[in-house]
């Protein structure tokens, strides 16, 4: 077996081909989100009812009934275009069947690959896989028959040593009695194997389909078979046939929550225009659905699966159809993921999550566990201009029309001119000082907010020379540097100093952006006259005439962890300045989607998250790190640990902090004194870091008494005691 760690990468938007993209760049926009332009080959459902869709080009996208997440598959040595089917077993392992490269398994941490070179699989073209109740894996191959793998030993069944009628195995289903139903090709028919004896049915003896494409056993133990030349149903005593004289291919079968059987049809050369779905209410009555009498699109159906509530259908033309027993929903590459390429703001929170603010489509939240949540429609404003997270990891959002928004982890609060003293609903920038005060720049002055009280500064009650506040910088001495349309201001709130073309070396008064480096130099971006450095005494101007700057319109400035300056221009790309050399990145020499740079954020691993008016790019010299195992930041805990809850005893809510040394599946559960599980607080994969979970008496319905909470992370287990007092 061949094992490679850490090679599945879940990302919030889908990049272009990894072959085409440099390892140092990842570029994302609305045309690369959600479902890609390829047919849907396979649907699988994991333990959390998340739907996984495999597309014809090897792309995978998941859907949790609210959000779409793209997954880029990188299996070592296996081209993703050869993946033909995706299955998920009861342990949530993902299995990828390939055309010529064997079978690949991903357990959430590492890959295991089975092929003819390293296992007893005997065939690299895998058509079908099924899992029995005692842990055996049954594998259908193209030319080597049926393979059984019990975790140690491999057993082959073929026409020479068993009752298998044909060496091409096309479908496998296992019933609740552990009997195997094996569909074969080339008129081999159906074989039923109970681990001792074989029973076979074929077209000659039973008029079942010539080549079997799918087998399903319903809740009444009826056997449903779809394939070339019709549908066949075995009710335990006799076969019932439908469409037996047609050349149609019935490719996929599932059962919905009401017990109805759904069968997908795929046309052929004789009937290319026939596109429909059959729904059986029982074994004798059926309804034929198409685009004329339902919400189905005009498309062949490759795969159908029910999650127990809804039915999902994958089409041959890159669409997913959802039916919830009342309405039809169609998803394609135009209605999932980010709907607006104009990325106006980006930010990181303390957990390493990326916040992406778009100009017109709200916020996308990219969690560090690689899941994506879109808040479009849930916040009162989709035109996002600035993002900031505070020391409590709460999010502050500046919008163009709806004021200041605050997300406390559970709900959104809105501060606007109707319900607060904020001077304008057009919030241009937000920063937070060392005391936790929020400094909000608007097109009508500055607001300071300490969580309770507001202080407003404008041209009439302070030293502000202008009303349009484009940038607020706070230095290590807690001085505020404020950029306006009429100069730069420094203030400690008691006094105000103004720098403009008359009082300083500034080349113009319209200040667009501000940054500070480790030497306390202030870097000032102007609208039309380039970049300015102020060291406290001297002013140095950099522009297109005397430096490597490609534009004098400086929209954004950031300083990375090693002191390099990253400068975003309005129309000439991204610039790196190391104090000596200038390097320009643009659409011609990099994978930037646009030369108009709107925002830059830099993480601890020196990734540059670059927002443009045509999408988002991530750049890092030496290669983009898309998995935390490839990079260990300085604040990773030295060990796994579980802290005592606080407060303890408690009445209401208590907090439990724990540390994760490396990426592991983590569970945090609460038990009573009898060892009965009372609540599950955490049950997910955590990246390295320090986490905090809260337990509420109300939510968990705890009564007065002693309880225990236990952390499990890999092989690490620790238990502590807590006391509830009411």
- Report the CATH number at residue 603: 2.130.10.10
The pLDDT confidence band at residue 11, using thresholds 50, 70 and 90, is: very low
> Do 686 and 563 fall into the same domain?
no
**Domain end: 577, 597, 630, which one?**
630
Q: Please determine, for residue 314, whether its predicted confidence score (pLDDT) is greater than 50.
A: yes
Q: Are 710 and 681 in contact (CB under 8 A)?
A: no
Residue 504 pLDDT > 90: yes
Each residue's pLDDT tens digit, 86-108? 999 999 999 999 999 999 999 98
Domain boundary among 607, 630, 653: 630
Q: What is the band of 69 on the pLDDT scale with cuts at 50, 70, 90?
A: confident
Flag whether 236 is in a domain.
no
Cα 591 vs. chain centroid, distance in angstroms? 22
| 592 domain-assigned | yes
CB 480 within 8 A of CB 472: yes
- For residue 507, tell me if it sits in a domain: yes
Report the C-alpha gap between 117 and 114 in whole angstroms: 8
What gap in Å lies between CA 454 and CA 377, rounded to an integer? Answer: 28
pLDDT at 597: 94
Answer yes or no: is pLDDT of 31 > 70: no
| Among 259, 261, 293, 260, CA closest to 276 | 293
Q: Which pLDDT value is given to residue 623?
A: 64
**Same-domain pairing of 542 and 647:** no
C-alpha–C-alpha distance, residues 697 and 703, integer Å: 8
d(CA 127, CA 216): 16
Q: What's the number of domains the chain is made of? A: 3
Q: What is the mean pLDDT of the chain?
A: 83
Residue 478 and residue 349 in one domain? yes
Domain-embedded: residue 274: no
677 and 594 together in one domain = no
271-286 pLDDT per residue, tens: 444 567 888 988 888 8
pLDDT score of 541 more than 90: yes
Residues in the chain: 726
Task: Indicate whether 657 and 618 sit together in one domain.
Answer: no
Do 359 and 493 share a domain, yes or no?
A: yes
pTM of the model: 0.51
Range of the domain at 96: 1-119
Calculate what percentage of the chain has a pLDDT beyond 70. 84
The DSSP result for 50-89, as a single string, is: -EEEEETTS-EEEE-SS-EEEEEE-BTTB-GGGEEEEEE-
508 lies in the same domain as 654 = no
Cis ω on the peptide bond leading into residue 591 (within 30° of 0)?
A: no
CATH number at residue 660: 2.60.40.1930
More confident residue, 242 or 680: 242
Task: Please tell me whether residues 604 and 535 are part of one structural domain.
Answer: yes
Give the chain's end-to-end CA distance (angstroms, integer). Answer: 56
Between 674 and 10, the higher pLDDT residue: 674
Least confident of 338-347, 571-580, 630-639: 630-639
Could you tell me if 625 and 675 lie in one domain? Answer: no
CA distances from 263 to 238, 304, 309, 538 (A): 20, 7, 17, 76
Residue 562: per-residue pLDDT: 81
What is the band of 26 on the pLDDT scale with cuts at 50, 70, 90?
A: low
Phi, psi of 80 (to 5 degrees): -65, -20
Report the range of poorest mean pLDDT among 313-322, 405-414, 585-594: 313-322
Can you read off the two tokens belonging to residue 441?
Answer: 């720049």
Identify the CA nearest to 530 among candidates 497, 499, 575, 491.
Answer: 575
Residue 380 falls inside a structural domain: no
Does 1 map to a domain? yes
Residue 151 lies in a domain: no
Which tokens go with 191?
């074989």
598 shares a domain with 457: yes
Do 658 and 596 have their domain in common? Answer: no
In a domain, 571, yes or no: yes
Of the three residues 604, 630, 656, the one that is the final residue of a domain is 630
369 φ, ψ to 5°?
-85, 10
Q: What is the CATH number of the domain that holds 54?
A: 2.40.10.500
In terms of domains, do 615 and 655 share one? no
Q: What per-residue confidence (pLDDT) applies to 48?
A: 87
* Token pair in block for residue 444: 């009508």
Question: Percent of the chain scored above 90 by pLDDT?
Answer: 48
């Amino acid at each position: 077996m061949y094992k490679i760690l850490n090679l599945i990468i879940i990302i919030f938007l889908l990049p272009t081909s990894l072959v085409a993209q440099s390892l140092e760049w990842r570029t994302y926009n609305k045309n690369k989100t959600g479902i890609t332009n390829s047919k849907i080959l396979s649907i699988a459902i994991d333990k959390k009812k998340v739907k996984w869709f495999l597309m014809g080009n090897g792309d995978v996208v998941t859907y949790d009934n609210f959000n779409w997440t793209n997954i880029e598959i990188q299996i070592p040595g296996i081209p993703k275009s050869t993946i033909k089917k995706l299955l998920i077993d009861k342990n949530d392992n993902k299995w990828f069947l390939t055309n010529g490269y064997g079978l690949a398994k991903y357990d959430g941490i590492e890959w295991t690959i089975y092929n003819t070179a390293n296992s007893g699989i005997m065939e690299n073209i895998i058509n079908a896989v099924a899992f029995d109740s005692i842990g055996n894996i049954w594998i259908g191959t193209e030319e080597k028959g049926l393979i059984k793998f019990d975790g140690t030993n491999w057993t082959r069944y073929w026409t020479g040593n068993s009752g298998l009628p044909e060496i091409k195995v096309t479908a496998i289903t296992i019933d609740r009695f552990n009997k195997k139903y094996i569909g074969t090709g080339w008129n081999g028919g159906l074989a039923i194997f109970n681990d001792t004896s074989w029973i076979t049915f074929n077209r000659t003896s039973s008029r079942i389909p010539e080549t079997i494409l799918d087998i399903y056993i319903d809740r009444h133990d009826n056997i449903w078979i779809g394939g070339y030349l019709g549908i066949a149903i075995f009710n335990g005593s006799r076969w019932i046939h439908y469409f037996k004289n047609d050349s149609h291919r019935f490719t996929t079968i599932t059962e919905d929550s009401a017990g109805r059987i759904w069968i997908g049809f795929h046309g052929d050369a004789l009937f290319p225009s026939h596109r429909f779905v059959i729904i059986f209410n029982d074994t004798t009555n059926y309804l034929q659905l198409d685009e004329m009498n339902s919400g189905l699109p005009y498309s062949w159906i490759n795969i159908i699966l029910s999650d127990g509530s809804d039915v999902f259908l994958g089409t041959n033309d890159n669409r997913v159809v959802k039916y919830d027993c009342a309405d039809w929903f169609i998803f394609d590459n135009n209605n999932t993921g980010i709907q607006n390429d104009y990325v106006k703001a980006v930010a990181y929170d303390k957990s390493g999550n990326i916040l992406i603010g778009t100009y017109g489509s709200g916020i996308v939240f990219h969690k560090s566990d690689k899941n994506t949540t879109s808040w479009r429609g849930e916040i009162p404003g989709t035109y996002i201009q600035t993002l900031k997270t505070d020391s409590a990891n709460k999010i502050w959002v500046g919008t163009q029309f709806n004021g200041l928004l605050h997300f406390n982890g559970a709900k959104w609060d809105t501060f606007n001119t109707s319900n607060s003293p904020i001077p304008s609903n057009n919030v241009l920038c937000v920063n937070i000082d060392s005391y936790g005060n929020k400094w909000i720049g608007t097109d009508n002055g500055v607001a300071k907010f300490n969580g309770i009280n507001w202080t407003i500064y404008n041209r009439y009650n302070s030293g502000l020379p202008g009303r349009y506040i484009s940038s607020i910088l706070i230095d290590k001495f807690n001085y505020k540097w404020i950029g306006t349309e009429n100069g730069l201001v420094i203030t400690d709130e008691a006094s105000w100093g103004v720098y403009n073309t008359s009082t300083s070396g500034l080349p113009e008064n319209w200040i667009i952006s501000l940054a500070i480096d480790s030497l306390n130099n202030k870097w000032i971006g102007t609208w039309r006259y380039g970049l300015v450095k102020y060291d406290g005494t001297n002013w140095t101007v950099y522009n297109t005439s005397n430096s490597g700057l490609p534009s004098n319109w400086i929209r954004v400035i950031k300083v990375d962890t090693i002191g390099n300056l990253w400068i975003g221009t309005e129309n000439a790309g991204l610039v790196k300045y190391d104090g000596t050399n200038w390097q320009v990145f643009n659409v011609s020499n990099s994978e930037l989607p646009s030369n108009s740079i709107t925002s830059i954020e830099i993480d601890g691993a020196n990734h540059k998250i670059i927002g443009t008016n045509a999408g988002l790019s991530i750049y890092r010299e030496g290669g983009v790190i898309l998995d935390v195992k490839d990079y260990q930041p300085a604040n990773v805990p030295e060990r796994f640990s579980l802290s005592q809850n606080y407060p303890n005893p408690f009445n209401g809510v208590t907090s439990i902090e724990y540390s994760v040394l490396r990426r592991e599946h983590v569970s945090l559960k609460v038990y009573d004194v009898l060892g009965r599980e009372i609540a599950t607080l955490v049950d997910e994969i955590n990246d390295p870091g320090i986490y905090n979970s809260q337990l509420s008496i109300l939510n968990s319905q705890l009564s007065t008494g002693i309880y225990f909470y236990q952390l499990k992370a890999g092989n690490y287990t620790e238990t502590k005691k807590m006391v509830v007092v009411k």
